[in-house]
Chain A
Amino acid sequence: MTSLAWIRNNRRTQIVLGFTIGICFGFLLQKSGVTDYGVIENQLLLVDFTVLKMMLSAVIVGMIVFQILKQWGFANLHAAHGTLGSNVIGGLIFGAGFALLGYCPGTVAGAVGTGALDALFGGMVGMLIGVGIFAGFYPSLKDGILSQGPFPVVTVPEFLRLNPWITIFILEVCMVGFLLLLEYAGL
Chain B
Amino acid sequence: MVVFGMLTQVSWSPYIAGAGIGLLSCLALVLADRPLGCSTAFVKARGLIGKMINAEKTERMAYYRDIVPRVDWAFMIIPGIIIGALLSSLLSGTFHVTWVPALWGSVFGNNVVLRVGAALIGGILLGIGARWAGGCTSGHGISGSIQLSLASMITATCFFIGGIIVAMLLYRVIGVGLA
Contacts and interface: CB of A to CB of B under 8 A. Distances in A.
B75 to A, nearest CB: 7
B1 to A, nearest CB: 18
Nearest to B154: A87
A138 B170 CA distance: 30
Contact of A94 (B49, B125, B150, B165): B125
A106 B153 CA distance: 18
A98 to B, nearest CB: 4
Interface string A16-52: 0111111111111111111111100110111000110
B101 A128 contact: no
Contact of B163 (A22, A27, A44): A44
B76 A22 contact: yes
B23 A65 contact: yes
A185 interface: no
Contact of B129 (A20, A96, A113, A128): A96
A27 B84 contact: yes
B178 interface: no
Q: Is the interface of B mostly helix, strand, loop or mixed?
A: helix
Interface string B136-177: 111011111111111111111111111111111011100000
Given A65-B22, A90-B134, A109-B78, A26 B88 contact: yes
A78 to B, nearest CB: 5
B158 A91 contact: yes
Contact of A8 (B31, B63, B118, B152): B31
Given A45-B171, A57-B18, A69 B29 contact: yes
A38 to B, nearest CB: 4
Contact of B132 (A86, A132, A155): A86
A138 B65 CA distance: 11
Given A28-B17, A104-B126, A18 B74 contact: yes
Contacts of B156: 55, 91
Contact of A121 (B86, B116, B155): B116
Interface in A122-145: 122-136, 138-139, 141-142
A63 to B, nearest CB: 5
A139 B85 contact: no
A116 B136 contact: no
7 contacts: A22-B79, A29-B84, A63-B146, A94-B126, A100-B121, A102-B101, A151-B150
Given A60-B22, A113-B89, 17 more contacts: A14-B32, A21-B24, A26-B82, A28-B21, A31-B9, A32-B12, A57-B17, A90-B133, A93-B162, A94-B159, A102-B104, A104-B136, A119-B119, A128-B49, A130-B126, A138-B61, A155-B149
Interface of B: 9, 11-12, 14-36, 38-39, 42-43, 45-47, 49-50, 61-64, 71-89, 94-104, 115-134, 136-138, 140-168, 170-172
